[in-house]
């Protein structure tokens, strides 16, 4: 015969055996991090890391039972978290209350001077060690974060903040699924996320961080890059492929490179990624010599430094930008440095307008960097480019970008069609091309009323 547990109410709350029974009730494999069983504090007065870790440990035990992952519900509130601790299990979703579930770092657990490497509030693996190490972990797939806010500096007014922690990162994925995984892609997802006042916004750097869907993300005020996809050249462990085949929709990334480094707002080192309706704006710049045009293709140092202060720096191959915008940058709005890129319907607004001091040339204030960069910088390494229906302009009027489109001599085999450039001090600089291309016979450029082509006419063979 079943045992009947009669709830006991004390001061309006369950107590005794009734409380224990309620704590043991679960709706599927869902967890509420604020339940007494776990004890997260939504007031932000005490550290909640242990509550999340307890749930993560239970989820891992469930793997052994064949149950799979779970959803971790995080009610509205502010939660103190120790950075670098919470490693999200596979098939686990952290689900908050839109705009009202806020995570802040517990500075009592942050080393003096910050971290020695990028360290995340929520991660899968770490900067220097992927999931499972070299052997990998085939279960670390299909995890995600939804409806959360990460704020590196705890201020309720959300105004400009100081005191950003060195190397503090909002989200960092470094997924390795083993050499023979259940699926070759991790398929993580990020949705409806805000990240404020950190050193790096989001880093997706693992060999199997592929098939990721990221949508409706706002990143604001980063000392370094807002988003990095794929392992950059300064990562200690270089691999041939990482962070590929991902989709990004409706990203809004603002106020990057505030720490005076050499970062862009968005940096892409992987291949086959798609960006749709994404915007990067207010990216600061200090270097004055990184925008020297017409350098040799063997100048690899410059190849790296041209990203400084750019909106988008696209280094990987076969990436697509569709309907994206880069606005008020210190360097070029778009730096194209990968092969077989597609850029369609994108806008470059006010390149080389924003200095490190936060000065924008508006007529009353003058940035010393104004007039030193193009809207679209098509570098020596941008081979086989397809670009159409793009526009360069300036909300601040003439005198910001020096060129609309600057094309270097080794960037051969390209089609640039139906593009516009306005608000130039010298309209003749709407497009700048070399006297000769290193490889001739397959270049077509049409900007405003100017057309250049060295296409060799070839007959089309008709099907029988």
pLDDT tens digits, 94-118: 999 999 999 999 999 999 999 999 9
- Cα–Cα dist 368/393, whole Å: 19
Average pLDDT for 385-404: 90
Q: Over 80: is that where the pLDDT of 155 sits?
A: no
- Find, among 86, 83, 76, 85, the residue nearest to 32 by Cα: 76
Place of tokens 């085999």: 413
Dump pLDDT digits (tens) for 84-95: 999 999 899 999
Residue 53 lies in a domain: no
Is residue 92 within 8 A of residue 63, CB to CB? The reply is no
Which pLDDT does position 22 carry in this prediction?
Answer: 56
Reported confidence tier of residue 65, pLDDT bands at 50, 70, 90: low
**Contact at 8 Å (CB) between 115 and 84?**
yes
Longest dimension (CA), the chain: 92
Q: Which residue has the higher pLDDT, 11 or 53?
A: 53
Using the structure block, give the residue that is written with the tokens 């060799």: 456
Mean pLDDT of the chain: 86
Beta partners for 120?
A: 169
Distance CA 389, CA 343 (A): 9
Q: Is the pLDDT of residue 294 over 90?
A: no
Strand ranges (DSSP E) for 351-402? 374-378, 385-388, 391-393
* Residue 319 covered by a domain: yes
Contact present, 333 and 327 (Cβ < 8 Å):
yes
Indicate whether 399 pLDDT > 60. Answer: yes
Quote the pLDDT of residue 402.
87
Distance CA 114, CA 122 (A): 17
Question: Which tens digit of pLDDT belongs to each residue from 208-226?
Answer: 999 999 999 999 999 999 9
In a domain, residue 268? The reply is yes
Highest mean pLDDT of the ranges 137-151, 173-187, 215-229:
215-229
- For residue 110, give every residue at least 6 positions away whose Cβ sits within 8 Å of its Cβ, in sequence order, or none: 83, 165, 168
Q: How many domains in the chain?
A: 1
> Is 355 a domain residue?
yes
* pLDDT for the residue numbered 412: 79
- Cα 391 versus chain centre, distance: 23
6 domain-assigned: no
In a domain, 60, yes or no: no
Tokens describing residue 307: 């990203």
Looking at residue 362, its pLDDT comes to: 42
Provide the pLDDT confidence category of residue 15 given band limits of 50, 70 and 90. low
Query: Distance between CA 47 and CA 40 in Å, rounded?
Result: 8
CB contact set of 374 (below 8 Å; sequence gap of 6+): 293, 332, 333, 348, 351, 392, 401, 402, 403, 404, 405, 406, 432
Nearest to 431 by CA among 444, 415, 442, 420: 420
Domain residues for the domain of 292 are 72-453
Q: What single string gives the DSSP state of each residue in 188-257?
A: -EEEEEEEEEESEEEEE--TT--S-EEEEEEEEEESS-SEEES--TTSSS--S--S-S-EEEEEEEEEE-
Task: Give the model's pLDDT for residue 7.
Answer: 61
For the residues 319-332, what does the mean pLDDT come to?
95
Give the count of beta carbons closer than 10 Å to the beta carbon of residue 215: 17
CATH number reported for the structural domain that contains residue 418 in this entry? 2.160.20
Q: 355-365, pLDDT tens digit by residue?
A: 544 555 444 33
Q: What is the mean pLDDT of residues 300-307?
A: 72
Percent of the chain with pLDDT over 70: 81
41 confidence band (pLDDT: 50, 70, 90): very high
Distance, in Å, from the CA atom of 18 to the CA atom of 6, rounded to the nearest integer, reads: 6
More confident residue, 441 or 211: 211
In this prediction, residue 372 carries a pLDDT of 83
The answer to whether residue 62 is domain-embedded is no
pLDDT value at residue 303: 65
pLDDT band at 1 (very low <50, low <70, confident <90, very high): very low
Whether residue 432 is predicted with pLDDT greater than 50 in this model: the reply is yes
Q: Is residue 347 part of a domain?
A: yes
Neighbours of 451 (CB within 10 A): 11
Asked if residue 63 has pLDDT above 80, the reply is: no
Structure-token pair, residue 154: 């705890």
């Amino acid at each position: 015969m079943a045992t009947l547990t009669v709830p006991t109410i004390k001061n309006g709350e369950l107590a005794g055996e009734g409380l224990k029974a309620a704590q043991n009730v679960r709706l599927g494999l869902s967890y509420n991090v604020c339940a007494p069983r776990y004890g997260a504090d939504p007031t932000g007065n005490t550290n909640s890391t242990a509550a999340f870790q307890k749930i993560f440990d239970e989820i891992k035990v469930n793997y052994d039972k064949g149950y799979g992952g779970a959803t971790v519900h995080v009610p509205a509130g502010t939660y103190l978290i120790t950075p670098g601790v919470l490693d999200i299990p596979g098939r686990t979703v952290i689900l908050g209350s839109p705009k009202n579930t806020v995570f802040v770092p517990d500075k009592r657990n942050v080393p003096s001077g910050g971290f020695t490497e990028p360290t995340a509030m929520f991660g899968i693996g770490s900067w220097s060690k992927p999931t499972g190490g070299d052997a990998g972990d085939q279960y670390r797939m299909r995890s995600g974060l939804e409806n959360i806010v990460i704020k590196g500096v705890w201020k309720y007014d959300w105004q400009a903040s100081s005191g950003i922690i060195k190397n503090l990162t909002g989200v960092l994925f470094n997924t390795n699924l083993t050499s023979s995984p259940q699926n070759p892609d991790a398929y993580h997802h990020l949705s409806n996320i805000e990240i404020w006042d950190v050193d790096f916004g989001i880093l997706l750097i693992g060999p199997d961080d592929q098939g990721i869907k990221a949508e409706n993300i706002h990143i604001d005020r980063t000392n370094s890059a807002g988003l990095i996809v794929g392992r950059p050249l300064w990562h200690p462990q270089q691999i041939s492929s990482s962070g590929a085949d991902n989709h990004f929709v409706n990203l809004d990334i603002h106020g990057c490179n505030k720490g005076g480094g050499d970062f862009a707002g968005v940096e892409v080192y992987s291949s086959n990624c798609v960006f749709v309706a994404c915007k990067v704006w207010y990216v600061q710049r200090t270097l004055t010599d990184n925008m020297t045009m017409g350098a040799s293709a063997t100048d690899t140092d410059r190849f790296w430094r041209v990203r400084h202060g750019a909106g988008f720096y696209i280094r990987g191959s076969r990436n697509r930008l569709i309907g994206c915008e880069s606005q008020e940058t210190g360097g070029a709005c778009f730096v194209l440095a990968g092969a077989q890129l597609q850029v369609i319907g994108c806008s470059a607004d006010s390149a080389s307008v924003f200095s490190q001091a936060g000065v924008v040339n508006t007529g009353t204030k003058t940035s010393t960097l104004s007039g030193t960069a193009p809207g679209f910088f098509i570098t020596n390494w941008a081979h086989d480019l397809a670009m159409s229906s793009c526009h360069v302009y300036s909300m601040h009027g003439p005198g910001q970008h020096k060129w609309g489109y600057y094309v270097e001599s080794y960037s051969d085999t390209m089609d640039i069609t139906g593009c516009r450039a306005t608000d130039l001090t010298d309209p003749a600089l709407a497009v700048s091309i070399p006297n000769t291309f290193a490889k001739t016979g397959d270049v077509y450029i049409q900007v405003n009323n100017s057309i250049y082509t060295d296409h060799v006419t070839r007959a089309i063979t008709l099907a029988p």
